[in-house]
Structure 1
Amino acid sequence: MMKILVVSDSHGNKEILNELASRYLNKVDHFVHCGDSELSSDDLIWGVMSTVRGNCDYDYQFPEALRFQAGNLNVLVVHGHHHSVRSSVAGLKREAEQAGAVLVFYGHTHIVKAEQEDGIIFINPGSISQPRGTLMEKTYCVATVEGQTLTVAYYNERHQKMPGMEKQFQIF
């Protein structure tokens, strides 16, 4: 079993990132931030979390994209502002296909979303500081890979599991 904590769009809220790191240390295998942290690349949190550069990150040391292996899965992390994610995941899908990724984490919209298209799973954890859309709850998620199943559970800033929001996907 592999667990990945995913957070995005914290917009300067360093305290919540530190809280997530201390709460989930030794409980997840990867910590991922999908950009717009608005923190410096030399912040100590980046010793625990991996991140990408969002449209509100002005430290150019952050990469535009991050690729890593989670077990036998190829994972791609981007912010999403270069991929027109407000309208569709088509831009993300093209980059995922080029990278051979089956799991894509992204942010930018501040809206929770988890979907699968042509075998690629796209997950947006929402925003941990400035939610948008109908939910209007500060969120992050934990993606759990067990065998050929990926389960995504969403949590609010009080670390309470969001009822009715868990999704499961089959990994191809």
Structure 2
Amino acid sequence: MKALIISDSHGWQRELKEIVDRYRTEVDIIIHCGDSELDRDNEALTGVKVVKGNCDFGDDFEEEIIETVEATSIYVTHGHLYNVKMTTVPLTYRAEEKQADIACFGHSHIATTFEQNGIIYINPGSIKLPMGKRIRTYCICERTDDKTTVTFFEKDGVRVEDMIYEFTV
């Protein structure tokens, strides 16, 4: 299973479409963790699984989704409803409730990944307004039978060498 995970693009259409198009044919799923600030029918979101962020208005997107790709259960939410800027505890409870293998979220604009209780959590950061390292990021998550690799990239496609993480499944 290979997933492209993006979040917090805050109205950027051309830049988002460039990233999506760069990987469209080599990933199994494309996920946007909210705050796209775009309508569902926007060309940049074609074929993308999107959740609603706190800056997304209207009823275009669900607050959370769960997708299964090659027997991997992926839970996606923006994170604002789980207070992820303060703690990830409520998010971890929800991911466990959903029996997720991977939980994707955004909102904090801080690129991070970690494992807890057998679930891998991924925040791809923001391609427009990054916090933390201040690098505009997204990531690729690749899961095989024995490991999961999460690799972060700068907006222009350059791999962030000190942000490659491997987890044993």
Instruction: Decide: shared fold, TM above 0.5.
Output: yes
With 15-24 and 160-169 compared, the bigger mean Cα shift is at 15-24
1:154 is matched with: 152
Question: Residues 9-158 of structure 1: matches in 2 within 5 Å?
Answer: 9-133=8-132, 135-158=133-156
Q: Which amino acid in 1 is paired with 2:4?
A: L
> Percent identity at matched positions?
36
TM-score, normalised with respect to structure 1: 0.95
Q: Is the Cα–Cα contact under 8 Å of residues 17 and 45 in structure 2 kept in the other structure?
A: no
Q: Is the Cα–Cα contact under 8 Å of residues 21 and 48 in structure 1 kept in the other structure?
A: no
User: How large is the RMSD of aligned CA atoms in angstroms?
Assistant: 1.0
1:170 is matched with: 168
Aligned length: 169
**Cα deviation, residue 87, structure 1:** 2.0
Q: Which amino acid in 2 is paired with 1:150?
A: T
Q: Is the Cα–Cα contact under 8 Å of residues 41 and 59 in structure 1 kept in the other structure?
A: no
TM-score, normalised with respect to structure 2: 0.96
For residues 141 and 61 of structure 1, the distance between their equivalents in structure 2, rounded to whole angstroms, comes to: 24
Secondary structure of the residue that 1:82 maps to in structure 2? Answer: helix
**Cα deviation, residue 17, structure 1:** 1.5
Runs of 4+ more than 6 Å apart = none
* Offset from partner CA, 1:62-113 (integer Å, 9 cap, x none): 0000101121111100000000111222111111111111200000000011
For residues 97 and 138 of structure 2, the distance between their equivalents in structure 1, rounded to whole angstroms, comes to: 27
With 92-101 and 43-52 compared, the bigger mean Cα shift is at 43-52
* Offset from partner CA, 1:124-170 (integer Å, 9 cap, x none): 0000000012x101000000011121000000011000011100112
For residues 156 and 110 of structure 1, the distance between their equivalents in structure 2, rounded to whole angstroms, comes to: 13
For residues 41 and 73 of structure 1, the distance between their equivalents in structure 2, rounded to whole angstroms, comes to: 25
Q: Is the Cα–Cα contact under 8 Å of residues 103 and 122 in structure 1 kept in the other structure?
A: yes
